[in-house]
Amino acid sequence: MTLPLLRLENVDKVFVKKTMMGKKSYIHAVRGITLDIQRGEALGIVGESGCGKSTLASLIIRLETLTRGKIILDGTDVTSLKEKDLRPLRRFVQIVFQDPYSSLSPRMTVEEILTEPLKIMTKLSKAEMHAKVTALLELVGMNASCLDRYPHEFSGGQRQRISIARALTTEPEILILDEPTSALDVSVQAQVLNLLNDLRQKLHLTYIFISHNLAVVKYISDRTAVMYAGQIVELGPSEKIMLEPLHPYTRELIAALPAVGKKLKPLTKAADMTENVAQERGCPYQNRCPLVDLRCKSERPPLAQFEPGHFLACWGVTKS
Ligand SMILES: Nc1ncnc2c1ncn2[C@@H]1O[C@H](COP(=O)(O)OP(=O)(O)OP(=O)(O)O)[C@@H](O)[C@H]1O
Ligand code: SF4
Ligand SMILES: [Mg+2]
């Protein structure tokens, strides 16, 4: 068995908030996540707003510190690295955010945006940097004429291409894509998804692809992890998750998928993380589940292998 490129072991994140009255409230945003990601794999993470997807991404790139657990990157435990020692991690793992409007500085030209990480992380000369960013722009379907222009001069899809080029400047092994297409029109989404698939093949990248939309996740990912209230409730091959979902929540997500060409509507009730902290006992999905029974109210189901390669956290689905 080859060593995974990225291993998460029992990763937890609890945010502590102070209320107006000085009381503390706790949000258990990520709960006991254990996951291996192999080199070259594309893992999709899907779940509704507030389920902890971006928090998990922030923990992996150490923008947030873990409350519990371990993150092992290419065999090295990076859980407790100090800020000054994080540079290799930042080079190795890059992230592309949902909103290319706010993630690109409006006062910098495209060339400045793309060379900034190179100045920090490499010793390339000016000419080498220019050649590199020109090649990167071509790789994402743009050209050198864009270099001296500002982000506002581009469409949403073009800006997202620039964001992807920026993430690639440091030659990362892992790209975390946090809703990279959900701010874009449906037709532009497809172009950016195709670009991401091409780049993965060409550059042998490993993807963690985050989305609300299971259909989009399936298009990009080999395996899909379905998150609910901070934990993974189902994990398996993307095709299987889409065609033969087992967890009642995954089934709910699939039922909410829009018709082809339409945008995904939010589910009626977003997971209330504060409520889930109070509801430590039992399955986090119990209040919405059509299969709920007494055991679901008292014992939290662990993520366990249901069949080879397919994992499930549910008491109510049994093998027939
Ligand atoms: N810095 C923070 N401080 C306090 N609570 C936070 C913080 N960041 C996230 N949270 C809370 O943690 C939970 C998970 O948030 P997160 O942003 O990870 O969800 P998400 O799945 O990415 O949602 P979306 O799909 O809307 O982006 C939410 O309840 C959120 O309010
Ligand atoms: S454990 Fe129970 S409540 Fe939770 S998803 Fe399964 S059947 Fe539903
Ligand atoms: Mg998010």
Q: Higher-confidence residue: 88 or 239?
A: 239
Whether residue 1 has pLDDT greater than 80: no
Whether residue 199 has pLDDT greater than 60: yes
Whether residue 256 has pLDDT greater than 90: no
Region 297-317 average pLDDT: 95
**Residues with Cβ within 6 A of ligand 2?**
248, 283, 285-286, 289, 291-292, 296, 301, 314-316
How far, in Å, from the CA of 2 to the mean position of ligand 3? 31
Cross-strand bridge partners of residue 77: 72
How far, in Å, from the CA of 99 to the mean position of ligand 1? 16
Nearest to 226 by CA among 216, 235, 218, 217: 235
Whether residue 312 has pLDDT greater than 90: yes
Model pLDDT for residues 2-47, shown as the tens digit of each residue: 899 999 999 999 999 888 788 888 899 999 999 999 999 999 999 9
Q: What is the pLDDT of residue 304?
A: 96
Whether residue 155 has pLDDT greater than 50: yes
Nearest to 69 by CA among 112, 32, 119: 32
Most confident segment among 85-89, 149-153, 260-264: 149-153
- The percent of residues in the chain predicted with pLDDT above 90, rounded, is 76
Model pLDDT for residues 39-49, shown as the tens digit of each residue: 999 999 999 99
Q: What are the distances in angstroms from CA 191 to CA 198, 276, 306?
A: 11, 38, 36
Average pLDDT, rounded, for the chain: 90
Model pLDDT for residues 65-89, shown as the tens digit of each residue: 999 999 999 999 999 888 888 888 8
Helix (H) / strand (E) element for 219: namely helix 214-220
Q: Higher-confidence residue: 89 or 246?
A: 246
Fold assignment, 39-68+76-312: Rossmann fold (3.40.50)
> Ion ligand 3 — residues with CB under 5 Å?
54
Residue of the CA atom closest to atom 11 of ligand 1: 29
Distance CA 241, CA 291 (A): 19
Model pLDDT for residues 125-134, shown as the tens digit of each residue: 999 999 999 9
Ligand in closest contact with the CA of 313? 2
How far, in Å, from the CA of 319 to the mean position of ligand 3? 34
Q: What are the distances in angstroms from CA 188 to CA 41, 71, 129, 183?
A: 24, 34, 29, 10
Whether residue 258 has pLDDT greater than 90: no
Distance CA 27, CA 30 (A): 9
How far, in Å, from the CA of 275 to the mean position of ligand 1? 14
CA Rg, the chain, in Å?
A: 20
Q: Is the CB of 54 under 6 A from ligand 1?
A: yes
Tell whether pTM > 0.75: yes
Rounded to 5°, angle at Cα 163 from 29 and 155: 115
Nearest to 171 by CA among 124, 102, 103: 124
Q: How confident is the model at residue 264 (pLDDT cuts 50, 70, 90)?
A: low
